[in-house]
Structure 1
Amino acid sequence: MNNKQSDKNSSADNVDEYLQTLGSEDARELRYYSQEQPFSSDEMTRLINEERLNKLLAQSDEFLSSLNGEIKDFDDEY
Structure 2
Amino acid sequence: MKDNKQSEKDSSADNVDEYLQTLGNEDARERRYYSQEQPFSADEMTRLVNEERLNALLAQSDAFLSSLNSEIKDFNDEC
Distance 1:76 1:18, change over 3 A: farther
TM-score between the two structures when normalised by the length of structure 2: 0.62
TM-score between the two structures when normalised by the length of structure 1: 0.63
Figure out how many residues of one structure are paired with residues of the other and give that number. 65
Question: What SS is found at the alignment partner of 1:37?
Answer: coil
The structural deviation recorded for 1:18 is 3.8
Structure 1: runs of 5+ lacking an equivalent: 1-5
- Aligned residues: CA RMSD: 2.9
Letter in 1 for 2:58: L
Is 1:33 matched up with 2:53?
A: no
Distance 1:19 1:55, change over 3 A: same
In structure 1, C-alpha distance between the alignment counterparts of 2:59 and 2:20, rounded to whole Å: 50
Structure 2: runs of 5+ lacking an equivalent: 1-10
The structural deviation recorded for 1:48 is 0.5
Q: Which has the larger radius of gyration?
A: 2
